Structure 1
Amino acid sequence: MQHGRTAAVTGPNGMPDQWSYSAPSGAASNRKLSRRTIVLGSVGIGVVVVLVAALVAWLAWPHSAPIEHADAPEKGRPLLSDKPPTMILNAIDFDSLYPPGYTEFDYTKMNKDSGYTYDPDRDYKSTSEPPDCTASDDPLYAAELGLDTDDDPERYQDSKISRLMYPVDDPGGNKEDSKSFSLAVFPSKDPTSLDFARQWYERCKGAKVTTVVSKHGQVIETEVITIDFGTVAAPESAADDSFAMTKDGKERCNYYGLVRGMIVNVTCPPEQKDAGAQLFRKVVIGLQEV
């Protein structure tokens, strides 16, 4: 018997059967599947069927993405900036958004001997070069304090949405190494873009700000500082517009996002930027879904 040749299977008339296959010489003409082959084949088919069924069920099941990763609702939703803050406060449980290990600041547990004393007789006056680059000229500072709006004080000037968070073991923020998170939500002067703030930081970058402190008409202190703030891209979120602040060329954990006419601001310790970014995303999505 020669290996490598094939033996044709013949039909009843002795001619090769065109519907048969050619098997190697020496191979059994009657090939039977073993019990093991049949069992393994059945198991394999069963596994495939189960996996396909599971995939179909998973695709059909409604999924809700985590709030920090959820898709933003369609654009064009009504602005929130002309609504009372209670509309937002009733829709979002801000207390549930605290980073792990943090709680709301408790001023009653703050160490009163902080070394700071308020002197009502002191007068502070700041000027800048170029002009209009002092802290009170900062458009975001003015917006957060409600200085650039004529809205009813009940809306956001006296009913601010803000949180200050400290570690649960130091709610008063007394320890030297205690680091805080902060959150603020307030109306934007421009409901469509944060360019008004970017342009101010760009124009005032490198500005010299002189603050003169006087008491009873006598100058008692003069301080000169250089503004070195800038803006870079903020962590990805569902905000309509956003940026992160820089100081001395270094990115800070200080994020601003515009959502339906409202500005979200989150600050956090430098070593906890991931937690700060997550908090930022959660609040942005919360406002998109109000």
Structure 2
Amino acid sequence: MALNLDFLITLYELLRKGFFDEEGFKRFIITKGARGFMEHENAMGRSVDVRDIKDELRKLMEIDGYEDRYCFHIFKSNLQQIKGDIYYLMSNGEEIVESALDRIHGVISDSIEIKTDIYLYAGGQDGGFTVNRDEVYINYLNYIGEREELIKILSHELYHSRRIKLWNNLKFGRNLLSKRKRYAYGLLGRIIEEGIACFIQHGPILIRDDKTGNLTRRNLTLSRNHFEMLNEALLNIKNGRFDRVRLGSLNIYAIGYIIVSALHSENKAHLLNQWTVNMNFKHIIMEYMELSRSNETLPEIEHEAIEWIIY
């Protein structure tokens, strides 16, 4: 697997000039990274098209101090650092990918197959994203000059891109047929998925807050609040009160990271392969509940809220 830097190179070439270059913009906007960025932004409800980006880049080039809505101004303000970073990434791409894979295999089975295309882009608010387990996009804007942090976010997204056998996907999909199960399994699956990815990225101790703000040390100090909200959501789903379920207010990253960290600290990390390979989170949740009963520092998942799902 190699790093595709076309987006970064063409944006660098465009912004280092003292004027807006029409031909340079055309070379930039047709890159796979640019297309993937626009598709992702639109999928997330943040409307964007070629004209929007062109207008913002033109203003950025023509108006001193202009701060565009895609944050390309950050890129423009760091061109000297970015020039060195691009050279480093071109020369060390394979080693960077291998380091990211080593982080993954330090937590889960090294038999997991990961083979995907990797694109570095710059813009927007997300740290990165994965498309259909076939394409990984990393927002380099958050990691300018941060080589180790770049490896860490790459390990997070590469975990999401692992190959899962069709049969295991189908088995998990059968749990999504009813509305109650669809809500519950979707929520718990995302919690465990992101929890493992965050643990791979940050390790057992969160030394630095996540660049995107999804996982911070403050989040973790508020862990009991997060779990209370999870219990409330699961109870509402159980009782069919879907209008009261506020999934958007749940910090699935913090909840998942706490669960995975607890298992790791008790040498139970092998259970993570049950989700990683088989998409089965039941034993992970059950083990965490057992640990939280004997360790009062761990916030609890209430039996009444979860028993209808895992037993």
Structure that is richer in helix per residue:
2
Larger radius of gyration: 1
Q: TM-score, normalised by structure 1?
A: 0.24
Q: TM-score, normalised by structure 2?
A: 0.23
Structure that is richer in strand per residue:
1
